[in-house]
Amino acid sequence: AQKITQTQPGMFVQEKEAVTLDCTYDTSDPSYGLFWYKQPSSGEMIFLIYQGSYDQQNATEGRYSLNFQKARKSANLVISASQLGDSAMYFCAMREGQGGGFKTIFGAGTRLFVKA
Amino acid sequence: NAGVTQTPKFQVLKTGQSMTLQCAQDMNHEYMSWYRQDPGMGLRLIHYSVGAGITDQGEVPNGYNVSRSTTEDFPLRLLSAAPSQTSVYFCASSTPQGTEAFFGQGTRLTVV
């Protein structure tokens, strides 16, 4: 069963506008973590933001925020004030269990194109 | 700040050959993992380790072996390379709290 679903293969956004990248997940574990990573065309994986299942507040890191809706099992990434350098693949990931000791699995990704 | 180091960066193998992809981290992370990324797809977990001497299978373990004799190193062995193993391989290690994973630069493997 698909555990991480990213339904948007590609997204376009105008420079300086905000964009939301969707992610839904499925787990029966009460303790889990949700991540977003950016992969530019150069290929490296860049960590963006983390949300723990018990965190009360939505995570924010600079222009990135994670819209965590636990009941809906969604963890959407919001990028504010898009920049040309934001053009990249974005992956949502989920770690089940506590600490660093359990599996982390990834969604198929969303390719974001930022237009000037 | 070395972080996670993967070697080699590129490799071409013939079908049936064996090889080891190296992964080393200098952050004293207990948790390390190997992923493969096929074109246009996300990362799929091959094997992972929660500490020295402990390994477990991920989503796509067939055709790969791992061992973890030290905290720093987590090599991935291809026993008999097949064209289906042509992919980009990433090694990652996690913070003790598991709130961030650090990735190596990747190894692009082609099996002909």
- Provide the residue-wise pLDDT of chain B in tens; the chain has 112 residues: 679 999 999 999 999 999 999 999 999 998 999 999 998 788 999 999 988 999 999 989 999 999 999 999 999 999 999 999 999 999 999 876 778 889 999 999 999 9
pLDDT for the residue numbered B99: 81
A65-79 residue pLDDT tens: 999 999 999 999 999
Across chain A, mean pLDDT equals: 92
Q: How confident is the model at residue A64 (pLDDT cuts 50, 70, 90)?
A: very high
Collect all residues of chain A within an 8 Å Cβ-Cβ radius of residue B88. Answer: 43
Q: How confident is the model at residue A29 (pLDDT cuts 50, 70, 90)?
A: confident
pLDDT for the residue numbered B96: 67
Q: Is the pLDDT of residue A2 over 60?
A: no
pLDDT for the residue numbered B111: 97
Percent of chain A at pLDDT above 70? Answer: 93
- Cα of B103 to nearest chain A Cα, Å: 6
Q: Which residue of B has its CA nearest to A111?
A: B40
* Position with higher pLDDT, A111 vs B39: A111
pLDDT for the residue numbered B98: 77
Q: Is the pLDDT of residue A100 over 60?
A: no
* B28 in A contact zone (CB under 8 Å): no
| Residue of B11, B20, B6, B24 lying closest to B106 (CA atoms) | B6
* A108 in B contact zone (CB under 8 Å): yes
C-beta atoms of B100 and A50 within 8 A: yes
For residues A9-27, average pLDDT: 96
Both structure tokens of B84 = 């289906």
Q: Which residue of A has its CA nearest to B106?
A: A44
- Cα of A18 to nearest chain B Cα, Å: 24
* Position with higher pLDDT, B36 vs A32: B36
pLDDT for the residue numbered A28: 87
Dist CA A34 CA A94 (whole Å): 5
| Residue of A104, A106, A109 lying closest to A33 (CA atoms) | A104
* A38 in B contact zone (CB under 8 Å): no
Collect all residues of chain B within an 8 Å Cβ-Cβ radius of residue A33. Answer: 98-99
Dihedrals φ, ψ of B85, to 5°?
-95, 5
Beta strand pairing call for A110-115 and A10-14: parallel
Report which residue type is found at A57: Q
pLDDT for the residue numbered A48: 96
pLDDT for the residue numbered B101: 85
pLDDT for the residue numbered B1: 61
Which of B33, B42, B98 is the closest to A91 by Cβ? B42
* B61 in A contact zone (CB under 8 Å): no
CA distances from B81 to A77, B11, B19, B43, B65 (A): 38, 12, 8, 19, 12
